């Protein structure tokens, strides 16, 4: 399953790169990209585990930038 999210309040390109790297390492993730300029996260992950992977991705994002909120794009 592939979904896109808007990362509101994303303020650091270096942090976005670290987020992307950590999310890509999650089990079940086929592809994860964060575009700092458009503030979009594209997450492609296993359908049966998508919600759990999404929750882990949110934790990773908040580790680097706690004020970021995700909205479905």
Q: Which domain holds residue 45?
A: 2-72
Residue 58 has pLDDT above 90, yes or no: yes
Do 41 and 33 contact (CB within 8 A), yes or no?
yes
What are phi and psi for residue 54, nearest 5 degrees? -60, -45
Rounded distance, CA 31 to CA 42, Å? 8
Share of the chain above pLDDT 90, in %: 99
Residue 22 has pLDDT above 90, yes or no: yes
Q: What is the CATH number of the domain that holds 24?
A: 3.30.70.100
What are phi and psi for residue 2, nearest 5 degrees? -120, 125
What global pTM score does this model have? 0.94
Say what the pLDDT of residue 73 is: 85
Residue 8 has pLDDT above 90, yes or no: yes
Q: What is the tally of structural domains in the chain?
A: 1
């Amino acid at each position: 399953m592939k979904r896109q999210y808007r990362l509101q309040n994303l303020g650091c390109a270096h942090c976005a790169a670290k987020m992307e790297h950590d999310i890509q390492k999650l089990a079940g993730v086929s592809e994860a990209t964060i575009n700092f300029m458009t503030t979009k996260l594209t997450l492609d992950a296993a359908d049966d585990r998508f919600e759990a992977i999404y929750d882990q991705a949110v934790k990773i994002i908040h580790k680097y930038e706690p004020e970021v909120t995700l909205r479905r794009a």
